[in-house]
Amino acid sequence: MEPLEGRRLWFVGIGGAGLSAYAQLARAWGAVVGGWDRVDTPYIDALAGIRVELAPDPVVPTGWEVVVSSAYPAVPGLPRAEFLAELVGLRESIVVGGTHGKSTTAAMIAFVLRELGRDPAWLIGSTVPQLGSNAGAGIGRLVVEGDESDRTVFRLPADVAVITNVELDHHAEFRSLAELEDEFARWSESARRVVRDVTPYSGELLLPGEHNRRNAGAALAALELVGVTRAEAEPVLARFAGVGRRFESTDLDGVTLVDDYGHHPSEVAATIAAARERYPARRLRVLFQPHLYSRTRYLAPELAAALAAADDVAVTEIYAARESPRDGVSGKLVVDALSDRGRLPAWMPTVEAGVDYLVRHAAPGDVLLTIGAGDVDRAPALLRERLGRP
């Protein structure tokens, strides 16, 4: 009998990276699954054959057990953090937490385990092309990306807890870095085994950047704790090609597009540094979309410092996500902070305007980076269309 057999689970926000993965695993583990979202998303494609309601406002039919995304806290039901904790408790789990690198590190671990025949299950908050989906239902260990933005990760009962790094990124959730560090310390004490502060991997990787060498070091350390030797893991890790929107690159007849999810200053700096490493001596033009009013309010100077490493920068308006507008807080804070550093950034309020800017200025040999966690993910397709290439 599958562990969730007999349950009818309705996911509010099923089109998101997280809940779509939970729904896939719940279905594989025997539950009847359905859900609602505002719009169709690529993540829903993996849920073919189930009932999905698309509507402007949440739809919750009677007769279902409701699991609610943190994006819809007003909807009654089981918070997604509690449901994920239930899933993690059903299987020996490797849980990857931390501020940066969670998706990549978790995907590295799951990829190596699968390629070596260990048949893992996994729940990762991004597409992983080499794994085929953001969720898998093998009979081996469960590999999970744990999110600190709503404190979900701190509820997860990990066998192996991996902490990639700790920086304050969610200013509306945590009062200070000290509070965040205390939460991670408490969580690590609850785990059987912990991976933290590991040495970066110095071997062969397809992914550029010091941050990916650190991700690989953490992945290898976790794999060793579950019985995979470095001699087994390293050749497989060398074939890992990354996750969706983490330095996804496309060459277009002399112009290179790079799309990245980075939204914290450290992530933006790491992406630009990786581009310098991968494409030395080439001009880097960046379209950056700030994410969240709270983050932009507190980190505009740090974002500007990171962006200043590029040759040319255009900044859009803030992608609000789950937050409401705040007086005096806009993407212009980042523009002003760049100007204070002696740079001349372009203020392009919309993604379309930013794409127009890149198209007007792109020259052969340029690298065009689109960076941000919002709908700037539309920019690569718009750029390909505008540049007249498939």
Considering the domain architecture, whether residues 255 and 365 belong to the same structural domain is answered as yes
Looking at 194, 212, 237, the residue that finishes a domain is: 237
Q: Are 359 and 353 in contact (CB under 8 A)?
A: no
Number of domains in the chain: 3
Q: What's the average model confidence in pLDDT over 231-243?
A: 98
Tell me if 242 is assigned to some domain: no
pLDDT band at residue 322 using 50, 70 and 90 as cut-offs: confident
Residue burial 351-360, b: 16+ Cβ < 10 Å; e: rest: beebbebbbe
- Rounded to an integer, what is the distance from CA 227 to the centroid of its chain? 27
Q: pTM of this prediction?
A: 0.94
Domain boundary among 180, 206, 237: 237
Q: Read off the pLDDT of residues 340-385 as tens digits, 9 standing for 90 and up.
A: 999 999 999 999 999 999 999 999 999 999 999 999 999 999 999 9
Place of tokens 């902070």: 337
Q: Do residues 260 and 369 share a domain?
A: yes
Q: Look at residue 389 and tell me whether its pLDDT is greater than 70.
A: no
| Residues whose CB is less than 8 angstroms from the CB of residue 280 and which lie 6 or more positions away in sequence, other chains included | none
Residue 150 within any structural domain of the chain: yes
Q: Is the pLDDT of residue 68 over 90?
A: yes
Say if residue 112 is in the same domain as residue 146: yes
Average pLDDT, the chain: 96
pLDDT digits (tens, 9 = 90+) for 333-342: 999 999 999 9
Is pLDDT above 90 for 254?
Answer: no
Instruction: Say whether both 372 and 257 belong to one domain.
Output: yes
Range of the domain at 114: 91-237
pLDDT over 70, % of the chain = 99
- 110: CATH: 3.40.1190.10
Nearest to 154 by CA among 82, 66, 92, 105: 82
99, 17: one domain: no
Confidence of residue 71 (pLDDT cuts 50, 70, 90): confident
Residues 14, 55 within the same domain: yes
| Pair 49, 130 in one domain | no
Give the integer Cα–Cα distance in Å for 65 and 67.
Answer: 7
218 and 102 part of one domain? yes
Q: Is residue 51 part of a domain?
A: yes
314 touches 348 (CB < 8 A): yes
Report DSSP letters for 361-376, one per residue: H--TT-EEEEE-SSGG
| Residue 154 maps to a domain | yes
Look at residue 390 and tell me whether its pLDDT is greater than 70. Answer: no
